[in-house]
Amino acid sequence: MTDNNVDNKTWKLLEKAVLASVSEQRRSRRWGIFFKVLTFVYLFGALALFSPLMDSSKGVTTGSHTALIEVRGMIADQERASADNIVSALRKAFDDKNTRGIILRINSPGGSPVQSGYIYDEIRRLRALYPDTKVYAVISDMGASGAYYIASAADEIYADKSSLVGSIGVTAAGFGFVGTMEKLGVDRRLYTSGEHKAFLDPFQPQNSEETAFWKEVLQTTHKQFIASVKQGRGDRLKDAEHPELFSGLIWSGEQALQLGLIDALGSSSFVAREVIGAKEIVDFTLQETPFDRFAKKFGASVAERLAIWAGFNGPQLR
């Protein structure tokens, strides 16, 4: 047997060994994926079965208490501080026969005027339905814009001396890329069936008529905001002497007290203990169940794995 034949046989044996190893790795990976999916299905079922039980104690008490509802972060649909979440918590707190008073603990820069308006209207409706149950807004770090909109529906507003309060205004922002497109030599091709359908398109030059129209929309929303704040705060608001209250400016809690934006300085525990007279605080804020948190984390993990398997990792920070 020649040396060439030996070399060929050796390479063939090595090739078979490598292919067998690769095949074994593939089988191992498939079984690994199978067992991961099986484990997830098991955990999914267990959490779906038991998560209602784990969350069932939320807001349940046997004695008089102060109900607490957090309004935290951006006020928007599908967010933690959405109208659906806040309104559901409010209804549950009002319905509880042991609730002596309700605190809305606010730490938010604002958000959607629609979501804020929904919450504002529901607070006023529930206050009329349950006249003996008072609502107190307590602003911690910030109660601005839509968050103050909500606070103004309460019977009284409290804040810390350094809290940021107010910002009664409306804003809409965007960017214009017309000059950039021209420099790049890119033509914008947009087809619409309405004369002003694309008036907010950032790749189109601004039109004075459309800009005036958009400002009118914002001014209308601002007037609605002001009317609601005046309705909620009444004569306590020093707007006659301080028309700048509605300019979009924001003040410290100490300044806000002088302007009638808030009623007093105080924390949630202070209001519960000294104002409501029920120092036990029960949190009625709607929370994600352990199942919801797990499902979100697993969903993000699965999406990442699928992207990697598909050969697309997306933008990465390294």
Tell me the per-residue pLDDT of 172-188, one tens digit each, with 9 for 90 and over. 877 777 778 777 788 77
Residue 47: band (very low, low, confident or very high) from pLDDT cuts 50, 70, 90: low
Q: What is the mean pLDDT of residues 134-149?
A: 97
- Fold topology of 65-286: 2-enoyl-CoA Hydratase; Chain A, domain 1 (3.90.226)
Burial profile 26-56: b = 16 or more Cβ within 10 angstroms, e = fewer: eeeeeeeeeeeeeeeeeeeeebeeebeeebe
Cα–Cα distance between 209 and 187 in angstroms, integer?
A: 24
**Ranges 3-17, 66-80, 220-234, 288-302: which has the least confidence:** 288-302
Residue 296's pLDDT is 47
Parse the chain into domains and list their residue ranges.
Answer: 3-55+292-309, 65-286
* 53 has pLDDT over 50: no
Burial of 167 (0-12, 13-18, 19+ CB in 10 A): buried
